[in-house]
Structure 1
């Protein structure tokens, strides 16, 4: 045996082993665990009460029985001291015993004895371990006289092992440690060359520990480090490339994923990592990355179901943010308090909604639509080239605006220098439609439709009524509703009566958009006042979040709005006074194309209304994707309330913003003299040409914006929304002054909200990352620890509350948390300290009685051993194949997927799955498309998450399906073939090639038995494929890459089967 090889187990002399064990025995003798240890309420009693009693006798007052509360000492004291508690838990009477039989709960004899001992000892209560303030310092045990400990954390582990009569395992071989640490830090396997190089450094170096540290530094500096560390956080952040729910449309949220990778690679301090995500937009002069990080609170699922209630889903989104914050940051099950006080933890329903108020004030509508629009508020993320193009377009707009102002000045000067015209103003130029209803309907209007139906489903015509009481001038339409000739003065004046469901589509009108100046004049009568009625709309219908322009009446107030996504990406104004009810009025709405709310004006009977700004920020196009609508429509908006019972006399549309003079003329019908404003807008050729050029420049700017990717982010509203306690969590629950809550943290959990911090998300982040906070640092280091050992010191990382498990090493957890804070929340330092520790470097084999004494490795008497994650297994195969594409960042890719089209099979509304081509097929699993309702099957087989909600601990299963995936999935078959090609292309004999392939996958050389098995398998497959060359050809044809033409097909097929077999071994897919 070549004992110098790094692939072989290190020799351990029997004498050395005996002596070291003797030292351990001496070291652990003094602190050995006493048989009758004092009962601890926190460790021994509270778990019993929480599990068996608190549901009826805990924090939730609504379900508390007998007015008995056992979670608080003062409340429980009388029942305990009177002996009632002891009597009830020992009673055999079904009417007296506790827990009662109907609860389906019972106490074991051991549990009863524990409670009895606690009562006899004085029934002292303790604060739950996770809610205690983090100690300012934690003394490191000094009991290790063997020299085993390499870091302070080892001293805690050694002391704990000693108390249990256990001893640490031998140190793992350098090769095994290197494979372990390479996967843990980068998610990739070490190459054979890296293993050899590390062994050589150990041989050449006079400082073994320095060689180990240098290897860790190399891995921490690799870009692969951030890619691997990001995976666990993306589970917690519920990051996915689709919105979820029934439609599960794809989104463009991948820039957040790339930011997380950068944050880990840059070693962003973890308190900043959290602060940026919780409240990056509220930092002073936030950078693009700080605003991008807040996508953490926006990448939850979104609904686009027809008929979805905006407020219901907006509050559902708020709840998701609260739950994610609670689980990912605090390790608490806050969702339990959404409908009632928490059954177990001291978190009231009022606490829940006080906390939710921090996440309740962004300008969102709660849903998304079927177009490619990004839900508002959003952040545009131009590339350098796009930013340059956009800047050039912005300057062109500024230049065009200046040119227009010059043209206006020139026009006014020309008008001043020439005698005024005595010709009265009768006609207004730039009219593109005049629609009247004076000619009775003679046929159905083909473009009239019921709400909820498309243009292919014409409705019955709307009725017309004669108008006899309108004081408004009778306009002279150029076309009537049914295309007949214009009516004469003798023709009865008619209006269409609307029913709130159907509308009249106005023919021949091009879409209004952000850059398009226009004016719309309508003579109307509102007969029923209601919350919101659409008078005229030009929106893309068939979608939840309308986009386009509309004129509405809301509780009697006129509103003119242009929007890409309402309300967060829009401009809009509302009149400060209500319009006259049940009277004929002429309403005029104008827009000048400047993309500001100031460009929207409203008039009634020729008089401009004073307005208030509703929204004043719009990006990209307004009218995005026309699914069924997009045409100017009178009295109806798809799946919304129209002008029920309202009357429309006539409508005119102009392709510019009319002047006050012109609007006054339309209202009175009187001929008036031309004014300078009218002359500039409607007559002067130079000014009109300058306006046309300005409009074109604005359109070019919007077109440049349209190409830029954007992502939903947090953007605090200027005035926070009111927040209420919602009865049973229902969005429409009755609200009153009694249910109103203010922003705050937990009433009965320390620390209180800091007095010197603002009551917003930035203050919340400061509260969560305060040095004395009992949860955040404990939760963080526990989850980081679990990433290396397969389980945290607290094995319920999602629940640090009373229903969660207690830490196996509480003092170690506190020491790690305090050390983490004092290091500046340095994740790389934490990782380095852990992987260089003697605890981590132990051999993972459970020798002797250790398998029984510590089956789950709770006490860390051996190194970690568990199956690799889904991402690690796929990336291992790609790396071994030599096809791993190192490209980093960017939109997701679509790797191999079984079946015809699982996306469409799982959801008929989903787009078809389009497999990537070329090198995109071989990118790291981090970059594979993550569709919530149809995750990649070969990843789900190995327990990847759908990421519909926050997950901080993946399941780890062992099923036959996993072996079938490794044997038959095209991704792994192609990888096996590519590895076989690499092996056959190497110099040497068959044995050396088999050894190299085995090392590439497992990180060690095969032993003699394994060599014999592999050689025998290879010989059998050679025979098989020589006899059946068609089978060889079929095997080698799998995958998009082409097999090498320089290799014998039989040899390649046989070696492919061997590599596939090794890929299936526990030695490959387990980390030991």
Structure 2
């Protein structure tokens, strides 16, 4: 592969012809991609003149509109595309004037020569398989390379007749490597020890330091930062409410994975499909939280399916960027304009992420959107195991008790037992046109000024009998009825008639809280005549529910009873209509933690509708009763018809639930076991993860990406991968996410290894071998060192995807170890240092700058993992100032204030200002490259932000020197990693003297400066001296020598 165009030594000759053969890959394709593909690229549906120029077959073919061929290899005169380039008529010239694109003379010359030389097309470099072997080039300066990387870099430099830079000073190398491997500065002790070792054997000292740094827990914390950007990890859901979430165990898993040196192939496989591995561990399931880190909405009026589609689309975009280095977003609505990715390809990938038990939104509680994973600690795990064991024993005991009760049942039957009507709890009888306001009331806050519900005749067959008529919006709510839960048996009976049957889904009764973005609790739904009976913490993935197999008859009087026996199983939910049990199917039967209601809206048992939800319009209710136990089938039959004959099955049900003391006691034990299990689960950390549905959901190509686009068999897509990449091999009949992960990790996959190696290279060398890590497609940059790139990628795979080995090769290379000083002779030839004739120099990242201040000052708390912490923020409360729906910001106290920045709480709508000033990601979407700016605001942050002023104060208080110059030397070494020069020492000493003189005359300013931060101020007999030293430390903290990596 050729080098980047600007580095190819082929000048445009006076005849307008290039001295070397023109490369389609590096010279022509970029022109066509920039100037032509928007109208004549892969997006066939929107192409002009039905012409594609991105493939030779299409470009060489006869034109579909007009005569001739767009490109005739070797024949300019008959190449219509060339003639249109030369045209002067604005209606003929290409690119057309309205595109605001033009070809300059150099670009025209390249295209002309390319056609003359045969118009040969080449496959895009990033889409070609990795070579099996890449030869390491020979070099003339044989004593310079330290490893294979240096051979490639030096060979290129020798081709360009450029010498590499001298090796950096040992302390420069140490600071550079320490930041790149741990995100922290070297300590003064490490600096002194390394300086002595390097004086004897610099290479051996570097090797030992590298191993020490790779083994440090700080390595994983630092490496995690860039990955968390790509994973769009944050501690809040985003959008308008931006409530805090519980994702932090995933962050801790990432840190641990890097520290354990989990191979990259496993790192990827676990995150994409850990739940689909054979007998997956809790850790492997936890890793799949990667797919659930997208933003979530809970806005009133949001549509479940619309946002479910948005969430899946985000997973596709993230996978495309993080693992493939491709832009996928545009393919949601149309074929890609530049890359060979069709809209059908997009939705085929979409299908892999389409089948988990989610509803698209989250409710306004702290409850975690399903599906989820419990993460108990050791004590909680023991409690859970004990509770589950007792529940299993209680179930077995009930089964045994019911089996043993058969003989007693027959003896009971011989006594001709009477089945008495059950004694109800709260009861309402509307037949006389009255509402007992001691039991229920009409107006809640949301309907306080609405007129009351009206009474109406119940049925033509029952003249004079009244019923309350519901309008589909308002409802009755009951007083003082505790919420239903997994351990609470109950029954509800209602006599009703639908005056109008509408093809809608509506709430008949409920005991839930929430809003239309999501409810939790119990509800009874009438869906176009079908009844649903549900008890849930989070629907659909943390719930039990069932649905009738047939719709109930319309416009008839019905006596409906719903029961739950507290068995903690969906089969314990039952529906009876007019005394007979209805046939049902189980919708869901998976639950953890309490299903009791919890949030700010609703919370009472209600009849007729639900706040911000749809009720049954025209519903007529004659009476209603609640029973605090599960009624038997026999009791329910007698409620519907007091003189009805009871069947043997109904009597057996009654005997077990009501008449038999032994089975009642067995059920009581079961109820207690369910209660104990819920109590054991309730405090356990929970996190959203992936969990495939038993049957894959269909996926369809959605016109314009709309969730409600029409679909049919022609829009249905299969789980396949784009045709321009290697084919996917599936393990079973239907491909799944594990197949997708395995496909990504095939040794010959052209993108996966390249994409990660490129991003890791950028972490050490400032910019990737491809400078557009988010785009390896046709609009992306070309690799500066293609052979090195392929060698690194192939070697990475050959060494079992060993991330630490790759890091080691970078920091121990002579390329990395060069001086970073700019060289005047390269200012025009290589202004961006793409040839790497010197080491890179750039500002540290936001997290590194804050952590540097904490570490050098001695404030750093190196505790690993745990919930996020809340460092200093400016102002009173930026969270509530920026979002009135947000809880107030609660600043951490004590040592928690000084945790590493990777643990700082990240709220998407109110990120930490001192981090944002230094270009950190908002983490709203997948981000694989941060901008790197240098602005006045950054200096203001370093000079005034309480975190940095406090760090300067704390550093000043622990300096051990007896004189000002000795203290300055120590502070400079701790912050910059090297001794100060004579000039630097002199300037800082002068600053100290002037500050001491000023502060000695201004005790109030001294007190103010030393009062910054929550850490205890050290007692000093000379506060003005301490304050002056603080000013000097703050000045050093602001130096480029401190906040830049050189």
What is the TM-score normalised by the length of structure 2?
Answer: 0.94
Instruction: Indicate the residue corresponding to 1:512 in structure 2.
Output: 484
Aligned match for 2:877, one of 890, 901, 916: 901
Give CA deviations for 1:468-492 in whole Å, capped at 9, x if unaligned: 4569xxxxxxxxxxxxxxxxxxx94
Aligned match for 1:62, one of 40, 45, 48: 45
Separation (CA, whole Å) in 2 of partners of 1:443 and 1:664: 26
Q: Secondary structure at the match of 1:916?
A: coil
Aligned match for 2:336, one of 342, 345, 349: 342
Contact 1:426 1:671 in 2 (8 A): no
1:979 maps onto 2:955 in alignment: yes
Deviation at 1:734, TM superposition (A): 1.2
1:1061 maps onto 2:1035 in alignment: yes
Separation (CA, whole Å) in 1 of partners of 2:590 and 2:933: 49
Separation (CA, whole Å) in 1 of partners of 2:580 and 2:221: 62
What are the within-5 Å matches in structure 2 for residues 288-303 of structure 1?
A: 288-303=282-297
User: Cα distance 1:283–1:403, how it changes in 2: closer, same or farther (>3 A)?
Assistant: closer
Moved more, 390-399 or 352-361: 390-399
Separation (CA, whole Å) in 2 of partners of 1:801 and 1:261: 30
Give CA deviations for 1:732-767 in whole Å, capped at 9, x if unaligned: 1111211111111102x1211125565110110111
Instruction: Indicate the residue corresponding to 2:229 in structure 1.
Output: 235
Deviation at 1:555, TM superposition (A): 2.5
Instruction: Indicate the residue corresponding to 1:94 in structure 2.
Output: 90
User: Cα distance 1:196–1:676, how it changes in 2: closer, same or farther (>3 A)?
Assistant: same
Give CA deviations for 1:870-910 in whole Å, capped at 9, x if unaligned: 00000000001101001110100000000000011110001
User: Cα distance 1:550–1:755, how it changes in 2: closer, same or farther (>3 A)?
Assistant: closer
1:226 maps onto 2:220 in alignment: yes
Contact 1:425 1:671 in 2 (8 A): no
Instruction: Indicate the residue corresponding to 1:179 in structure 2.
Output: 175
What are the within-5 Å matches in structure 2 for residues 399-438 of structure 1?
A: 399-401=393-395, 421=415, 424-429=418-423, 431-438=424-431
Instruction: Indicate the residue corresponding to 2:70 in structure 1.
Output: 79
Aligned match for 1:308, one of 298, 302, 327: 302
Contact 1:449 1:455 in 2 (8 A): no
Instruction: Indicate the residue corresponding to 2:923 in structure 1.
Output: 947
Deviation at 1:497, TM superposition (A): 1.7
Instruction: Indicate the residue corresponding to 1:587 in structure 2.
Output: 560
Give CA deviations for 1:383-407 in whole Å, capped at 9, x if unaligned: 1111112222233434544565676
Unaligned runs of 5+ in 2: 1-6, 12-18, 61-68, 73-77
Separation (CA, whole Å) in 2 of partners of 1:32 and 1:407: 87
Separation (CA, whole Å) in 2 of partners of 1:92 and 1:990: 75
Separation (CA, whole Å) in 1 of partners of 2:81 and 2:412: 104
Contact 1:94 1:101 in 2 (8 A): yes
Contact 1:380 1:710 in 2 (8 A): yes
Instruction: Indicate the residue corresponding to 1:157 in structure 2.
Output: 153
Q: Secondary structure at the match of 1:135?
A: coil
Deviation at 1:1041, TM superposition (A): 1.1
1:960 maps onto 2:943 in alignment: no
1:107 maps onto 2:96 in alignment: no
Deviation at 1:1032, TM superposition (A): 0.2
Instruction: Indicate the residue corresponding to 2:991 in structure 1.
Output: 1017
Separation (CA, whole Å) in 2 of partners of 1:419 and 1:734: 59
User: Cα distance 1:900–1:405, how it changes in 2: closer, same or farther (>3 A)?
Assistant: same
User: Cα distance 1:789–1:418, how it changes in 2: closer, same or farther (>3 A)?
Assistant: closer
Give CA deviations for 1:791-842 in whole Å, capped at 9, x if unaligned: 0000000000000000011111111110111010000000001110011001
1:497 maps onto 2:506 in alignment: no
Give CA deviations for 1:288-340 in whole Å, capped at 9, x if unaligned: 11100100000100001000001100000000000000000000001111100
Q: Secondary structure at the match of 1:791?
A: coil
Contact 1:32 1:163 in 2 (8 A): no
Give CA deviations for 1:669-723 in whole Å, capped at 9, x if unaligned: 2277894643453355565455444323322221221101111111111111111
Deviation at 1:83, TM superposition (A): 2.5
Q: Secondary structure at the match of 1:336?
A: helix
Aligned match for 1:259, one of 253, 260, 263: 253
Contact 1:54 1:344 in 2 (8 A): yes
Aligned match for 2:768, one of 782, 792, 799: 792
1:216 maps onto 2:210 in alignment: yes
Contact 1:32 1:162 in 2 (8 A): no
Moved more, 350-359 or 918-927: 350-359
Aligned match for 2:522, one of 549, 566, 579: 549
Deviation at 1:639, TM superposition (A): 2.0
Instruction: Indicate the residue corresponding to 2:445 in structure 1.
Output: 454
Give CA deviations for 1:1010-1063 in whole Å, capped at 9, x if unaligned: 010111111111111110011101111111012111452111100000000000
1:129 maps onto 2:101 in alignment: no
Aligned match for 2:634, one of 661, 672, 689: 661
Instruction: Indicate the residue corresponding to 2:362 in structure 1.
Output: 368
User: Cα distance 1:511–1:756, how it changes in 2: closer, same or farther (>3 A)?
Assistant: closer
Instruction: Indicate the residue corresponding to 1:143 in structure 2.
Output: 139
Deviation at 1:465, TM superposition (A): 2.0
Instruction: Indicate the residue corresponding to 1:193 in structure 2.
Output: 189
Contact 2:129 2:748 in 1 (8 A): yes
Contact 1:535 1:552 in 2 (8 A): yes
Separation (CA, whole Å) in 2 of partners of 1:70 and 1:408: 77
Separation (CA, whole Å) in 1 of partners of 2:699 and 2:849: 46
Aligned match for 2:849, one of 850, 865, 873: 873
Separation (CA, whole Å) in 2 of partners of 1:755 and 1:434: 58
Separation (CA, whole Å) in 2 of partners of 1:324 and 1:423: 66
Separation (CA, whole Å) in 1 of partners of 2:89 and 2:402: 96
Contact 2:447 2:474 in 1 (8 A): no
What is the TM-score normalised by the length of structure 1?
Answer: 0.92
Deviation at 1:467, TM superposition (A): 3.1
Separation (CA, whole Å) in 1 of partners of 2:10 and 2:306: 57
Contact 2:145 2:151 in 1 (8 A): yes
Deviation at 1:358, TM superposition (A): 0.5
Deviation at 1:917, TM superposition (A): 0.2
Contact 2:225 2:902 in 1 (8 A): yes
Q: Secondary structure at the match of 2:391?
A: helix
Deviation at 1:456, TM superposition (A): 6.8
Separation (CA, whole Å) in 2 of partners of 1:1040 and 1:715: 44
Q: Secondary structure at the match of 1:312?
A: helix
Q: Secondary structure at the match of 2:425?
A: strand
Separation (CA, whole Å) in 1 of partners of 2:623 and 2:309: 41
Q: Secondary structure at the match of 2:509?
A: strand
Contact 2:365 2:514 in 1 (8 A): no
Contact 1:371 1:624 in 2 (8 A): no
Contact 1:778 1:813 in 2 (8 A): yes
Deviation at 1:556, TM superposition (A): 1.8
1:523 maps onto 2:495 in alignment: yes
Instruction: Indicate the residue corresponding to 1:278 in structure 2.
Output: 272
Aligned match for 1:607, one of 570, 575, 580: 580
Give CA deviations for 1:238-293 in whole Å, capped at 9, x if unaligned: 00000000110000100000000011011111011111111111100011111001
Deviation at 1:642, TM superposition (A): 1.1
Instruction: Indicate the residue corresponding to 1:24 in structure 2.
Output: none
Separation (CA, whole Å) in 2 of partners of 1:741 and 1:672: 55
Separation (CA, whole Å) in 2 of partners of 1:826 and 1:995: 40
Contact 1:424 1:672 in 2 (8 A): no
Q: Secondary structure at the match of 1:573?
A: strand
Contact 2:296 2:361 in 1 (8 A): yes
Deviation at 1:458, TM superposition (A): 5.3
1:569 maps onto 2:542 in alignment: yes
Residue correspondences, number? 1015
Separation (CA, whole Å) in 1 of partners of 2:740 and 2:535: 35
Deviation at 1:638, TM superposition (A): 2.5
Separation (CA, whole Å) in 2 of partners of 1:418 and 1:751: 72
Deviation at 1:195, TM superposition (A): 1.1
Instruction: Indicate the residue corresponding to 2:31 in structure 1.
Output: 48
User: Cα distance 1:910–1:533, how it changes in 2: closer, same or farther (>3 A)?
Assistant: same
